[in-house]
Amino acid sequence: MHDDKAETTWPQLIAALASRRKQETRRKDTMKTTAIEAVERAIEELSKAKLFCADTERRSELNKNAPHHPPLCTEIDIGRRGYT
């Protein structure tokens, strides 16, 4: 009788371990995907900031060349956009 219980327990144990491994693999894959997506978003934000800075530099040059016009981009604008 004890042997019968062991026979039914081992397959269940093996199935449970396999299921846990699959869950762990899925969790790791999800973490990797989340990390990759976060890096992609950061790169996109940095690209936007770089473009914004380049645009600000261009505007700054325009402002120097035409000092009688009001500045096109101020430090307040930069701070408002979160690129300080």
pTM (global) more than 0.85: no
Name the CA dihedral angle for 45, 47, 52, 58, rounded to a multiple of 10 degrees.
170
Q: Give the Cα separation of 80 and 74 in Å (integer).
A: 10
Q: Kindly tell me if the per-residue pLDDT of 84 is higher than 50.
A: no
Q: For residue 70, what are the CA distances in angstroms to 17, 34, 67, 76? A: 69, 44, 7, 14
Q: Kindly tell me if the per-residue pLDDT of 5 is higher than 90.
A: no
1 pLDDT band, cuts 50/70/90, is very low
Q: Is-contact 63 71, C-beta < 8 A? A: yes
